[in-house]
Amino acid sequence: MSGAGEVDFTIADNDIGTFTLARTPATLAEDGAATASFALTLDKSNATGTAVTVPYTITGTAANGVDYSVQGTSPMTFPEGIFSQNINIATIGDTGPEPNETIILTLGNPSNATKFSYTQMPVAQRTVTIIDDDCVAGDTPPTINARATGVCSPPTTSVNLNTYVVGAAAGAPTGSSLRWSTTANPTTAAALLPNANVTANGTYHAVYWVDETCFTGSNPVTITFNTPPSAGTLTAPANPLCNNTSTDFGVNSLSLDTVISGQTAGAWTVGSVPGSTTPTIGAGNIVSFEGQAVGDYVFTYTTTGAVTPCVDDIKSVTIEVDDCDKCAAKVAPSLDTSVQRTFCDDITTSLNDYIVGNAQPVPC
Ligand SMILES: [Ca+2]
Ligand SMILES: [Ca+2]
Ligand SMILES: [Ca+2]
């Protein structure tokens, strides 16, 4: 007020409004639309009668509308009675591997710079970082192909597990490797096998791996090393066997199991026989040659129970059978009638000369 006898005094305001910029939280997980807020707070009521405005810009490596969305527009406005304004952001998830990305909010000068300032001078700036959760290994575990998982050992004593994955090692996403573990969904490097070659039965889990922060889930393949059956080793049979009804002249039967050793489960069959009568393979695989024709008998042992790709093993043995009674039912020697029988003088001819082949009797 001024007038006669009045003096005007101007009260110089010496209060400065101070803005403080905060952000919560400092980092955001990329997926799941996580949210963060930049909060600009004024420590005193704005009593200037005019709203003070604070412009801001958002920069950083994250892209607005791609990596995040923002709620609010520049400038923030502080009329009297308003002490805080928020700028809210929300992440926009994706599946692409990428670096962690920043959202940087930088304040401009308040509209009334003589009365308002910041606590973060000279750079009134806060950063929120979006933590990427995608890795170059991708999200899809290796696909197991239809290759047979049983092998025959021997000859196959080692298996390259990579041959059981579609695309093999070369099919791993760029920057990752096809790795194996005996643990499903491995998460540590220590759980990985040193290489893809295995020599033992087991269930092995394929994973695309970069490091302990970047890997896919796993898919299993179960490898079985099958041992091939064996028909064993032939031992020398007691040849010849006798076909006589009495064992006085020699053995006339044997167990076929005595002519091989080391065989796995299997069965004997009769192959070729010299006569018209096929001998019977009895209990204990015993064969009697009593009354059988003289000659060679072939028997075959075939294993059972081979698991693919193994196949059953086969071995054949020849048993020689003879008439061991050299005295019984022999045919009289044949006379050789071509030898001279009439002589005019003394002779020294042997009577054996009159026998075909000059055969000698077989000793009994
Ligand atoms: Ca992104
Ligand atoms: Ca993601
Ligand atoms: Ca991403």
Q: How far is the CA of 205 from the centre of ligand 1 (A)?
A: 30
163 has pLDDT over 80: yes
- For residues 265 and 304, is the Cβ–Cβ distance under 8 A? yes
Per-residue pLDDT band at 35 (split at 50, 70, 90): very high
255 has pLDDT over 90: yes
* Ligand index nearest the alpha carbon of residue 32: 2
Q: How far is the CA of 133 from the centre of ligand 3 (A)?
A: 6
Mean pLDDT of the 74-98 span: 94
- Of the listed ranges 49-58, 111-120, 344-353, the least confidently predicted one is 344-353
296 has pLDDT over 70: yes
Q: How far is the CA of 97 from the centre of ligand 2 (A)?
A: 7
Q: How far is the CA of 104 from the centre of ligand 3 (A)?
A: 18
Q: How far is the CA of 210 from the centre of ligand 1 (A)?
A: 19
- Of the listed ranges 113-117, 303-307, 308-312, the least confidently predicted one is 113-117
Q: Name the architecture of domain 233-322.
A: Sandwich (2.60)
Q: Name the architecture of domain 17-131.
A: Sandwich (2.60)
Per-residue pLDDT band at 275 (split at 50, 70, 90): confident
Q: How far is the CA of 74 from the centre of ligand 1 (A)?
A: 24
Q: How far is the CA of 188 from the centre of ligand 3 (A)?
A: 22
Take residue 28 and report the two structure tokens written for it. 């955001």
**Residue tagged 């005193």 (tokens):** 44
Q: How far is the CA of 31 from the centre of ligand 2 (A)?
A: 5
Write the pLDDT tens digit of every residue in 197-227: 999 999 999 999 999 989 999 999 999 999 9
- Of the listed ranges 139-143, 235-239, 251-255, 265-269, the least confidently predicted one is 235-239
**pLDDT in the model for residue 133:** 86
Pick the residue with more confidence: 13 or 47?
A: 47
- For residues 287 and 256, is the Cβ–Cβ distance under 8 A? yes
- Which amino acid is residue 233, in one-letter code? T
82 has pLDDT over 90: yes
By the CB criterion, residues less than 5 angstroms from ion ligand 1 are 67, 94
Mean pLDDT of the 153-165 span: 97
Residue whose C-alpha is closest to residue 301's, from 264, 253, 276 = 264
Q: How far is the CA of 25 from the centre of ligand 1 (A)?
A: 18
**Which residues, 6+ apart, have CB-to-CB distance to 255 below 8 Å?**
284, 285, 286, 287
Take residue 253 and report the two structure tokens written for it. 């039967």
* Ligand index nearest the alpha carbon of residue 101: 1
Please report, rounded to a whole number, the percentage of residues in the chain having pLDDT higher than 70: 93
Write the pLDDT tens digit of every residue in 316-349: 999 999 999 877 555 677 788 888 788 888 777 7
Q: Whole-angstrom Cα distance, residue 231 to residue 269?
A: 13
**pLDDT in the model for residue 345:** 80
36 has pLDDT over 90: yes
Q: How far is the CA of 58 from the centre of ligand 1 (A)?
A: 16
Q: What is the pTM of this model?
A: 0.59
**Which residues, 6+ apart, have CB-to-CB distance to 212 below 8 Å?**
187, 188, 189
14 has pLDDT over 70: no
Q: How many CB atoms lie within 10 A of CB 222?
A: 12
The two domains 17-131 and 233-322 share their CATH topology (first three levels equal): yes
Q: For the chain, give every domain's residue range.
A: 17-131, 150-226, 233-322
119 has pLDDT over 90: no
Q: How far is the CA of 215 from the centre of ligand 3 (A)?
A: 14
Q: How far is the CA of 350 from the centre of ligand 2 (A)?
A: 115
**pLDDT in the model for residue 1:** 46
